[in-house]
């Protein structure tokens, strides 16, 4: 039987040693009425059959590798160096559990320690945890931290309308049941109004935390240094949700005065996989570390005098503190954190700058020429990173359908998340978009395709 | 003198000017970036590809893993992770899908999600399922929040008490608090069941519900289960099932038929997806008809039924009164694909055999070990059991010592110090994928250790010695806190 090694003889020998006659005798504690229900499933398959079936199912999907992809909005198509999958496919890494036994888990522990170090360095913060589920839950966990920091006395979590709408929604879901807390998100009016200045006016003495995204959902970049001072002058915490690739070039949240940095780590070598599993980045100033949720690895020594690593500050966590824990998180994104660490190590200083620069330059090239197409207009008026907003002459869904016929996965239709943004597309460009593919996109958008279809 | 197994960090092996990966030259003009937006320095390591590969290969050799040996970690279901699942999940048609692609271009993926929902419903007896939770605890949060939403909708917000047996996992109380509940522990009786008189005291109109792990964390099927569930229902409460231990129940009993209202599965336990050194897992949540409108969304569903010529069109649906979105996108698709293949391969009979052999293996071990180790709850167990390492004639030996000594015999230790109601707990879960030979070797090691504990206790106190690293200075780690370099 599949994955169960026992022969019938061995089974019988084991039953005899326990002192029972049949497998059914193992389950006498279960009320008869409920025991051995019928399960209406198919019969099992061999590996050959299952593999063929999965291949067929996969072929019904359109892989972004087979198109030219301009879709981002929180998940980005980057190149994943071959060494990564090779390393994380080592059974020693992926078939291990959470490193509760440090003597035989130093591979995982040192890997996470290095991940924490890399994320701290990348964000310009002093400390990082071992991961949260994804960008959205990392935002929510930051909100919970802020709630605890003020012992529930400050009730407002102020969120920029430039935060990914899904992240904002998840913050609402998570914080809803905390006594009196409200997540305040100014309504989106126009792109011009999504600025730090407009948000600053809403900070008051009841504000526990202010949350912005950098670059924001619409690609916009602001220097938040002054804004951070305003937030701090009101006594609140300042949290930034970041795109880690952008930090290859851009001023760090640490340098701008952020207290907490969260973000989606998917761009760091993690496949798109229809949205998950991704990687929730979480970094903070050192004096907040005892309030941070999730696992944290620290350096120590073993009894042979070797430098080593352990899970530390565990008195924050659910397995010790139960209802008083900082969060309920247990399993996290261990292997994806390792992936991000390997990605950052491979690219290193220069590679990370290069990929950020390629994204930036290609996005700006694309914006420039799209803006010249009659009927299309780039509406970002401030600097942006690798994503920008385009007003289109027709519904985005129609344009995208047309693009798809030409092997192009168009930008994100913003009306799907922000209904007032009809005919507006969010376009993302990465190092994988060649000049040629950008030119193709523009050619088709401008209707220069005398196409054979439709 | 033992070999030093310390590994330098990636920062220590960094060498200026090295590159591990090259990007093509830019084919567009360089654009200007405002100076004030540029970072000052980028303190990343500089390594070649071989540096990186060797570094992580060395690190991997310091880990114990299921692929290397027996990993009887109770409550974690460290079964074998089939390799075909890894391979198929990497097919480009699964791994390279953008979460916001038009649904017409991800019909294969949606089919998998839809069928996985259906299979989990069939296995558990529930009527609806959402695959969005990222892990078990995330599923708990979702399910308990659904209970909160249910009461709120009925204007029963005064129902604020969530009952949690004292044997429960720490995530249960932590999840309840995040959903606004007050946690009330319920006692476990001497047979390892929920103490019904302790339960009765809290069955009043403040009761929101109870979180029950079944089989419980002692590895026992609760003999009072049906009655306890009934009492909670009578008092107007709902029953949450922590499905971490579903490996013992597939084809043996359906939680919905036993009376549970909502439950999470840990796909990374029951359905053989790897634990990845701490994650990612996946924590599907399933529920009865009356809670289905509250499920976290979106959920894969048929948006256009099949016609004569066309298969059905799958898409996303968000339940009417959904507790809302709980993650960036739609859940851990890559993990779900692996669980799906596992289900396909095992099928109806295979899944039942999983539960049977997991239970057989646990009872075989328990029976063999109880002569040498105190067994606090001595009755037929399900997929795991708990020993209490308290020998009157070896008083300074603790569960921790036995755990550490097991490493010297090349086994991963069982879970220790959980559940909390067994003070020197060693929680042993062999899983169905281990052979009788492996179990016999483990029994042999455990017996030797019991003997050592009485005759040469220092062998246990000093253990492990045959491992790359020895016992850690945990106090130093917290006191001289260094969590980044
Ligand atoms: C009984 C029980 N409940 C809940 C959980 C939490 O699951 P996860 O780690 O997937 O969040 C665990 C995990 O160890 C568990 O053993």
| Res A196: pLDDT | 97
Q: What is the pLDDT of residue A315?
A: 86
CATH number of A64-79+351-453: 3.90.1150.10
B-chain CB neighbours of A110 within 8 Å are 7, 9, 59, 62
Indicate if the pLDDT at residue A87 is higher than 60.
Answer: yes
Residue range B36-83, pLDDT digits in tens? 999 999 999 999 999 999 999 999 999 999 999 999 999 999 999 999
The residues spanned by each domain of chain A are 8-53, 64-79+351-453, 82-343
Helices (H), A263-333: 318-321
Q: Which of B380, B340, B375, B322 is nearest to B356 (CA)?
A: B380
Task: Provide the Cα torsion A321, A324, A326, A327; round to 10°.
Answer: 80
* Beta-carbon separation of A103 and B472 below 8 A: yes
**A398-420 per-position pLDDT tens digit:** 999 999 999 999 999 999 999 99
Asked if A133's CB is within 8 angstroms of B327's CB, the reply is yes
Domain B84-344 of CATH type 3.20.20.70: no
E-strand spans in A16-161?
A: 68-69, 127-128, 156-159
Per-residue pLDDT, averaged over B423-434, amounts to 98
Nearest CB neighbour to B38, from listed A47, A85, A251 = A251
Percent of chain B with pLDDT over 70: 100
Asked if A206 reaches chain B (Cβ–Cβ under 8 Å), the answer is: no
Residue extents of the structural domains in chain B: 84-344
Are A113 and B484 inside 8 Å of each other by CB? yes
A327 alpha carbon to ligand 1 midpoint, in Å? 13
Q: How far is C-alpha A186 from the chain's CA centre?
A: 24
- Closest CA of chain B from A189, distance in Å: 23
DSSP string, B334-350: HHHHHHHHHHHHHHHHH
Residue with tokens 């168009």: A410
Pick the CATH number of A82-343 from 3.40.50.300, 3.40.50.970, 3.40.640.10, 3.30.70.1710: 3.40.640.10
Ligand 1 pocket, residue A330 CB under 6 Å: yes
| Interface test with chain B among A22, A53, A177, A256, by most B beta carbons within 10 Å | A177
Q: Do A365 and B350 count as a contact with CB atoms less than 8 A apart? A: no
For a mutational test of ligand 1's pocket, the pick from B71, B74, B75, i.e. the residue with the most ligand atoms closer than 8 A to its C-beta, is: B75
**B-chain residue closest to A100, CA distance:** B415
For B262, phi and psi rounded to 5 degrees? -155, 145
What was the pLDDT predicted at A250? 98
At B413 the three-state DSSP class reads coil
Q: What is the mean pLDDT of chain B?
A: 97
Predicted confidence band at A2 (pLDDT cuts at 50, 70, 90)? confident
Atom of ligand 1 nearest to the CA of B137: 11
| Binary contact (B178, A54; C-beta < 8 A) | no
Inter-axis angle of helices B333-369 and B436-455, nearest 10 = 60
Cα B72–Cα B78–Cα B80 angle in degrees, nearest 5: 115
Ligand 1 centre from A294 Cα, in Å? 14
Q: How is residue B132 written in tokens?
A: 């969005």
Mean pLDDT for the stretch of residues B230-238:
98
Using CB atoms, pick whichever of A31, A355, A357 lies closest to residue B226: A31
CA of A440 to the centre of ligand 1 (A): 49
Which residues of chain A neighbour B53 with C-beta distances below 8 Å? 83, 86-87
Asked if B385 and B249 count as a contact pair (C-beta separation under 8 A), the reply is no
Is the confidence at residue B474, as pLDDT, over 90?
Answer: yes
> How large is the average pLDDT for residues B354-370?
98
> Per-residue pLDDT averaged across A425-443, rounded?
98
Mean pLDDT of B224-234: 98
Could you report the per-residue pLDDT of A240-258, keeping only the tens digit for each? 999 999 999 999 999 999 9
Of B28, B93, B315, give the one whose Cα is nearest residue A366. B28
Cα–Cα distance measured from residue A77 to residue A6, given in angstroms and rounded to the nearest whole number = 45
Residue B243 CB less than 6 A away from ligand 1: no
Closest residue in B to A45 (Cα–Cα): B345
- Chain B CB contacts of A102 under 8 Å are 469, 472
Q: Does residue A381 belong to the interface with chain B, where contact is any CB pair within 8 Å?
A: no
Give the range among A177-181, B105-109, B320-324 with minimum mean pLDDT: A177-181
- Between the two ends of chain A, the Cα-to-Cα distance in Å is 52
pLDDT of residue A453: 45
Q: Which of A375, A391, A119, A413 is nearest to A260 (CA)?
A: A119
> Which member of A98, A297, A435 has the closest CB to residue B483?
A297
Residue A454 has pLDDT above 50, yes or no: no
Instruction: Report CA(B171)–ligand 1 centroid distance (Å).
Output: 7
Phi, psi of A230 (to 5 degrees): -60, -45
Please tell me which of the candidates B96, B134, B221 has its beta carbon nearest to residue A63: B96
Is B62 within 8 Å of A10 when comparing Cβ atoms? no
**What does pLDDT average to over chain A?**
96
Establish whether residue B284 lines the binding site of ligand 1, counting it when its CB lies within 6 angstroms of any ligand atom: no
Chain B closest CA to A453's CA: distance in Å? 18
Protein residue with least CA distance to atom 7, ligand 1: B136
Compute how many other C-beta atoms are within 10 angstroms of the C-beta atom of residue B3: 5
Distance (Å, whole) CA B124 – CA B253:
8
Asked if this assembly's ipTM is beyond 0.85, the reply is yes
Q: How far apart are CA A188 and CA A191, in angstroms?
A: 8
**Residue A118 in tokens:** 């890399």
Confirm or reject: Cβ of B266 under 6 Å from ligand 1. yes
Torsion A389-A392-A396-A401 (CA) sign: negative
Residue A376 has pLDDT above 70, yes or no: yes
* B65, B223, B331: residue with CB nearest A92: B65
What does the pLDDT look like over A252-282, one tens digit per residue? 999 999 999 999 999 999 999 999 999 999 9
In tens, the pLDDT along A300-336 reads 999 999 999 999 999 888 888 888 888 999 999 999 9
What would the two tokens of residue A23 be? 């497998």
* Single pTM value for the model: 0.98
Is the CB of A118 less than 8 angstroms away from the CB of B82?
no
Nearest CA to ligand 1 atom 9: A331
**Contact residues on chain A for B357, CB-CB shorter than 8 A:** 4, 6, 11
């Amino acid at each position: 039987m599949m994955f169960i090694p026992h022969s019938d003889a061995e089974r019988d020998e084991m039953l005899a040693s326990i002192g029972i006659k049949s497998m059914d005798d193992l389950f006498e504690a279960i009320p008869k009425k409920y025991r051995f229900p019928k399960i209406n499933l198919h019969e099992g398959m061999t590996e050959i059959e299952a593999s063929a079936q999965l291949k067929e199912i996969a072929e019904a999907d359109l892989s972004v590798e087979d198109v030219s992809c301009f879709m981002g909005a929180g998940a980005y198509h980057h190149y994943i160096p071959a060494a990564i999958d090779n390393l994380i496919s080592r059974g020693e890494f992926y078939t291990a559990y959470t490193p509760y036994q440090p003597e035989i888990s130093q591979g995982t522990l040192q890997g996470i320690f290095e991940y924490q170090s890399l994320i701290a360095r990348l964000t310009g913060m002093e400390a990082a945890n071992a991961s949260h589920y994804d960008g959205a839950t990392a935002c929510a966990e930051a909100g919970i931290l802020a709630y605890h920091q003020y012992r529930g006395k400050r009730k407002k979590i102020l969120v920029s309308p430039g935060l990914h709408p899904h992240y904002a929604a998840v913050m609402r879901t998570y914080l809803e049941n905390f006594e009196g807390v409200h997540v305040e998100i100014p309504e989106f009016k126009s792109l011009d109004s999504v600025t730090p200045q407009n948000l600053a006016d809403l900070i008051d003495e009841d504000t526990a935390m202010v949350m912005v995204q950098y670059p924001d959902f619409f690609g916009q970049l602001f220097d938040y240094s002054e804004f951070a001072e305003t937030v701090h002058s009101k006594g609140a915490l300042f949290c930034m949700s970041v795109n880690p690739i952008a930090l290859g070039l851009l001023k760090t949240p640490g340098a701008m005065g952020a207290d907490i940095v969260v973000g989606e780590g998917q761009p760091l070598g993690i496949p798109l996989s229809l949205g998950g599993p991704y990687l929730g980045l979480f970094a903070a100033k050192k004096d907040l570390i005892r309030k941070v949720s999730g696992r944290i690895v620290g350096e120590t020594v073993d009894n042979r005098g070797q430098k080593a690593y352990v899970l530390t500050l565990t008195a924050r966590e659910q397995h010790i503190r139960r209802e008083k824990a900082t969060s309920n998180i247990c399993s996290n994104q261990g292997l994806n954190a390792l992936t991000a660490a390997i990605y950052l190590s491979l690219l290193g200083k220069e590679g990370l700058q290069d990929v950020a620069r390629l994204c930036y330059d290609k996005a700006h090239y694309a914006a420039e020429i799209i803006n010249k197409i009659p009927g299309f207009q780039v509406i970002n008026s401030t600097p942006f990173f690798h994503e920008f907003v385009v007003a289109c002459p027709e519904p985005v869904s129609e344009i995208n359908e047309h693009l798809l016929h030409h092997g192009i996965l168009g930008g994100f239709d913003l009306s799907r998340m922000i209904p007032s943004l009809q005919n507006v597309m969010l376009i993302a460009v990465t190092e994988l978009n060649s000049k040629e593919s950008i030119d193709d996109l523009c050619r088709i958008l401008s209707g220069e395709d005398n196409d054979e279809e439709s | 003198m033992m070999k030093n197994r310390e590994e330098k960090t990636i920062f220590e092996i960094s060498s200026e000017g090295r590159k591990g990966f090259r990007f093509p030259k830019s084919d567009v003009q360089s654009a200007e970036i405002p100076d004030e937006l540029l970072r000052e320095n980028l303190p990343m390591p500089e390594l070649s590809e071989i540096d990186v590969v060797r570094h992580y290969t060395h690190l991997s050799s310091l880990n114990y893993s299921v692929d290397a040996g027996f990993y009887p970690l109770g409550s974690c279901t460290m079964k074998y992770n089939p390799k075909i699942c890894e391979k198929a999940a990497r097919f480009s048609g699964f791994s390279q899908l953008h979460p916001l692609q038009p649904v017409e271009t991800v019909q294969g993926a949606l089919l998998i999600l839809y069928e996985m929902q259906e299979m989990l419903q069939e296995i558990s007896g529930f009527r609806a399922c959402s695959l969005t939770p990222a892990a078990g605890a995330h599923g708990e949060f979702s399910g308990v929040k659904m209970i909160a939403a249910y009461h709120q909708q009925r204007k029963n917000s005064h129902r604020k008490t969530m009952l949690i047996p004292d044997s429960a996992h720490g995530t249960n109380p932590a999840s309840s608090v995040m959903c606004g509940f007050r946690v009330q522990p319920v006692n476990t009786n001497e047979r390892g069941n929920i103490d019904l008189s302790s339960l009765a005291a809290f069955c009043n109109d403040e009761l929101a519900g109870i979180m029950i792990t079944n089989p419980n964390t002692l590895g026992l099927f609760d003999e009072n289960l049906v009655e306890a569930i009934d009492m909670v229902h009578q008092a107007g409460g709902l029953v949450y099932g922590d499905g971490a231990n579903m490996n013992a129940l597939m084809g043996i009993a359906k939680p919905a038929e036993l009376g549970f209202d909502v439950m999470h599965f840990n796909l990374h336990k029951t359905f053989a997806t790897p634990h990845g050194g701490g994650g990612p897992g996946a924590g599907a949540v399933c529920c009865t008809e009356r809670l289905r409108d509250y499920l976290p969304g979106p959920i894969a569903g048929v948006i256009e039924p099949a016609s004569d010529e066309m298969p059905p069109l799958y898409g996303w649906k968000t339940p009417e009164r959904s507790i809302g979105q709980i993650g960036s996108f739609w859940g851990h698709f890559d993990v779900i694909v692996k669980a799906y293949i596992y289900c396909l391969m095992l099928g109806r009979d295979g899944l039942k055999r999983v539960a049977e052999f997991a239970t057989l293996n646990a009872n075989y071990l328990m029976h063999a070990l109880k002569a040498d180790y105190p067994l606090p709850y001595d009755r037929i167990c399900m997929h795991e059991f708990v020993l209490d390492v308290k020998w009157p004639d070896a008083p300074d030996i603790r569960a921790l010592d036995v755990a550490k000594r097991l490493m010297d015999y090349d086994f991963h230790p069982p879970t220790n110090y959980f559940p909390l109601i067994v003070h020197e707990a060693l929680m042993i879960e062999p899983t169905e994928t281990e052979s009788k030979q492996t179990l016999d070797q483990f029994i042999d090691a455990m017996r030797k250790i019991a003997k050592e504990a009485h005759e040469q206790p220092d062998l246990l106190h000093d253990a492990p010695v045959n491992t790359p690293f020895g016992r850690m200075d945990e106090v130093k780690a917290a006191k001289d806190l260094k969590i980044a370099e």
